Amino acid sequence: MNDIRIFGVRGMPEVAAGDDLPGLIAQALHKMGERLHDGDVVAVTSKIVSKAEGRIVREQDVVPSDFAVALAQHSNKSAAEIEVILRESARPVKMIDRVMIMETKHGFICANAGVDRSNVAGEGAMLMLPEDPDRSAEHIRLALEERFGVSLAVVITDTFGRPWRVGQTNVAIGVSGMAPILDYKGRKDNHDRTLQATAIAVADELAGAAELVMNKTDRIPVAVIRGYPYVRAPGKAGELIRPKHLDLFQ
C-alpha cells in the first residue's frame, strides 16, 4: 500500500441553501493550488450538505405535538426541537433524562436523530441530516469527476457516539464510488488460518481519518484522502448498517 496523504480543503465559504457545493469545493481547491487526482476520496461533512440542500428548520416555524410538549417538561430541549427530532426518527432507542438516542429514517442510530444546532446561523435554527446522503454523495462525485476528469469516491461524514466507547468519531453516512466494507472473510491470515468474520468498515475509517484535518472549529468541512487503494464500486452507506437480526447491542 502506498503512503496516504490527507489534507483539508481550506477557504470554503459559508454554505447556504441552493449553493453549488461541488463548484465551491473546486473553487477552494483551485485557490489552494490543488486539484483532484484519480482515485482520491473526497470527505464532506453532512453539515454543509444539509445547508446546501436547505435542510434547516427554525424553531418559531415548528408546531410541537402534545407528546413533544410533554417530553419537553423533563428535558433541556424545547418542545419544538423535540418535535423535529421525532419527525426525523423511525423509532426511539433510548430516551432517558436529557438524552434522546433515536433511529433515523435512514436507519442510523445517533443522538437526537442527527438534529443539530451547532454552527448554524440564525436564532432557533436547527439542521437536519441530508434526506438521502447516498444520493448527495453521488451528486457530488459525478460533478467533481466531470469537472476534474478523474474517477473519485465521495464519503459524507457525520459525528456519532459509540456504544461501550467514550468520545465521538466521524462515520460515513453517505457513500458513492467505493465499496464501504473491505471483507476479509475466506482469506488466509499469517498462520494460514481462514478468516471467518473480519469485515473492515473502511468508509468509516476514512471518515474518521478525515476529521483529523477538518476539526470542529477550523471551518474546514471538506478533506481529500489520497493514496488509499479502495475497491471501486457504486457503494451505499446502508451497507454499514447492521441488520436487526444480527444486532446484539439493542
**What is the three-state SS of 95-132?**
EECCEEEEEECCCCEEEHHHCECCCCCCCCEEECCCCC
Q: What is the reported pLDDT for 243?
A: 79
Q: Residues spanned by CATH 3.90.1660.10 within the chain?
A: 56-127
Residues 6+ apart with CB under 8 A from 35: 29, 148
Q: Residues spanned by CATH 3.30.1330.100 within the chain?
A: 5-54+130-244
pTM as predicted = 0.91
Q: What is the reported pLDDT for 180?
A: 96
Q: What is the reported pLDDT for 99?
A: 79
pLDDT along the chain (250 residues), means of 10: 88 94 97 97 97 95 94 89 95 83 93 89 90 97 98 96 88 97 66 63 96 83 96 93 74
Q: What is the reported pLDDT for 188?
A: 53
Distances (CA, A) of 157 to 89, 91, 99, 196: 19, 22, 22, 29
Instruction: Domain 5-54+130-244: give its CATH code.
Output: 3.30.1330.100
Q: Which three cell numbers stand for residue 43?
A: 470527505
Q: What is the reported pLDDT for 183?
A: 77
Cα–Cα distance for residue pair 223/21, rounded to 1 Å = 14
Cα–Cα distance for residue pair 117/167, rounded to 1 Å = 19
**CATH class entry, domain 56-127:** alpha beta
pLDDT tens-digit series, residues 9-20: 999 999 999 999
Cα–Cα distance for residue pair 70/75, rounded to 1 Å = 9
Q: What is the DSSP string of 179-192?
A: -S-EE-TT-B-TTS
Cα–Cα distance for residue pair 42/181, rounded to 1 Å = 17
Q: Strand pairing of 41-45 and 153-162?
A: parallel
